[in-house]
Amino acid sequence: MKSKPVVFLDSGVGGLPYLLEAKRKLPSRDFIYLADNKNFPYGGRDILSLKKIVHEIIGKALNAFDPEAVVIACNTASVVTLSSLRQKYGIPFVGVVPAVKPAAENTKNGIIGLLATETTVKNIYTDTLIRDFASDCSVRKFAGVKIVDFVENQLYQSNSMRTTKILQPAVTFFKKEKIDTLILGCTHFLFVKDTLKKMLGSQVSIIDSVEGVTTQLKKVISSCPEKPLETHRSRYTFYITGNRFDRSKYDVFLQKFELVWGGTL
């Protein structure tokens, strides 16, 4: 019997590095990637409106694709909506939240940086993660609002000088705070991880949640063959919301992540 797909949701392209690893771990599975372009960005939105937006789009996605599980491939949406989504729907939801525990295990000097959206930085769920897993550390937070927009809209049209310029305020802040470990608390930031690493220097470790999230996904869905099936070619389809978008902007992402265009949801 054909297995049901897994849906990934983010406000934009941020969740694609997570999807890439999920495809590697679950090669016989179909994946649907949903970029909520209509409501981009999620960061900075108030909790109630973001909850409404995410519940609405998840409702539509469940009707359209009947997935076995959903990955909320967005820290902002996860910290705000994960528990209510789990309560409402009877399928597994895997969240992407700041990797506070691995960061606390990694730090030597006890000073950790958190680079995330404004909503994630201020959210009570984030505070709870810090209290539960890093109570003996000092966590210095920076909201990288401009970085999100840069990755979503300009990354592949920009040169490395421009990328460095966009990251500079965050890097200056974290250097001043003397962090030795940085949590990438927004999926969009995975795209600039290498540049951040160069700018922060080898004494700072950068922690993301790709491995943890995809391992968790593999656990919650029904077992599937480790190798692609000869009888089924896995499909990786990219959908967006809304009707005001520049299709050419997405082509480069589709190519890089080997997805086919599904249209609008």
Question: Active-site residues: which are they?
Answer: 74, 186
Tell me how far, at minimum, the Cβ of 19 lies from ligand DGL, in Å: 13
Is 164 in contact with 195 (CB distance < 8 Å)?
A: yes
Please tell me the count of residues contacting ligand DGL according to CB under 6 A: 16
Q: Is residue 7 involved in binding ligand DGL (CB under 6 A)? A: no
Among 32, 74, 85, 99, binds ligand DGL (CB under 6 A): 74
Among 10, 30, 68, 180, binds ligand DGL (CB under 6 A): 10
Q: Is the Cα dihedral 216, 152, 24, 28 positive or negative?
A: positive
Tell me how far, at minimum, the Cβ of 10 lies from ligand DGL, in Å: 5
**3-state secondary structure (DSSP) of residue 248:** helix
Q: Is residue 67 involved in binding ligand DGL (CB under 6 A)? A: no
Tell me how far, at minimum, the Cβ of 33 lies from ligand DGL, in Å: 13
Give 50 or 137: the residue with its C-beta nearer to ligand DGL.
Answer: 50
Distance CA 67, CA 61 (A): 8
Q: Is residue 98 involved in binding ligand DGL (CB under 6 A)? A: no
Distance CA 185, CA 207 (A): 9
Q: Is 60 left (phi over 0), alpha (psi -120 to 50) or beta?
A: alpha
Is 120 in contact with 147 (CB distance < 8 Å)?
A: no
Backbone angles phi, psi at 200, to 5 degrees: -85, -25
Give 11 or 205: the residue with its C-beta nearer to ligand DGL.
Answer: 11
Tell me how far, at minimum, the Cβ of 40 lies from ligand DGL, in Å: 5
Site for ligand DGL in 99-118 (CB under 6 A): 117
Distance CA 38, CA 245 (A): 9
The residues of the shown chain that bind ligand DGL, judged by CB under 6 A, are 10-11, 14, 40-43, 74-76, 117, 120, 148, 186-188
